[in-house]
Amino acid sequence: MLCTMIITAAYEGNLLAFLTTPEMTTPIRTVEELVENNLPWNMVLYRESVEDYLNATTDPVLKKFWERKEAVEHISIPYERVIVVIIRRHWSI
């Protein structure tokens, strides 16, 4: 009986810890890791030099990174509204 109570208490404790502890993910440190994780990313296009560089790059990692962007053309609306558009991924403003 005592052994059963100890095993049950240990099981419940481990189950509770598993269900309540957030999953720890490793941080993304390089562009290669970002491309491998297939995380979506958005960019408001302002016709700047970074866009020209990424558009013309021959680096395969940067090329793949640039091709996966979800671009929003330059828009003149309040910054807060842009954030809402990006979060909801609903491009019709």
Report the chain (93 residues): mean pLDDT per 10 consecutive residues.
71 74 78 82 78 89 86 67 70 52
Query: Concatenated DSSP letters for the chain?
Result: -HHHHHHHHHHHHHHHHHHHSPPP-PPP-SHHHHHHHT--EEEEE---HHHHHHHH---HHHHHHHHTEEEEE---S-HHHHHHHHHHT----
The reported pTM is 0.48
